[in-house]
Amino acid sequence: MKRPPRPLPNHLSLHVARKAERKLRARTARQPGPWFGLGVLGIIGWSVALPAVLGALLGLWLDRAHPGRFSWTLSLLLAGLALGCIAAWQWVDRMGPPHD
């Protein structure tokens, strides 16, 4: 026999109601301004630059610790750049308009 669902505690139902109201307001809100666009550019820039710089730094350390025939610095710089571009692409795709 199936039991009826328990009522939510009052504070939890208020929290859920506030969250739903915020989502509805965000959907009906006007278009974001220029500051939002600048923020997005900053996030995209950091998501590309940070992995590239970290890859280059790790490559410099590996080149000094284990010198070889190829450059760890260049290899890891390119790998970090590729990883950063993929991360930025996914972020932009997630923040863009919904796909039909």
Residues 57-77 have pLDDT tens digits of 999 999 999 988 999 999 999
Encoded tokens for 45: 């820039």
> Domains in the chain: how many in total?
1
Candidates 57, 53, 54, 46; CA nearest to 87 is 46
Q: What does DSSP assign to residue 93?
A: H
- Higher-confidence residue: 76 or 39? 76
Q: Per-residue pLDDT for 6 more than 60?
A: yes
Q: Does any domain span residue 28? A: no
Long-range contacts of the stretch 22-26 (C-beta < 8 A, 24+): none
Q: Does any domain span residue 69? A: yes
- Higher-confidence residue: 100 or 87? 87
Question: Using one digit for the tens of pLDDT, what is the confidence trace for 10-21?
Answer: 777 788 888 888
Q: Does any domain span residue 65? A: yes
Residue 59 belongs to domain spanning: 35-100
Rounded Cα–Cα distance for residues 100 and 91 (Å): 18
Q: Does any domain span residue 61? A: yes
Q: Does any domain span residue 12? A: no
Q: Does any domain span residue 4? A: no
Residue pair 16/41 in contact (Cβ under 8 Å)? The answer is: no
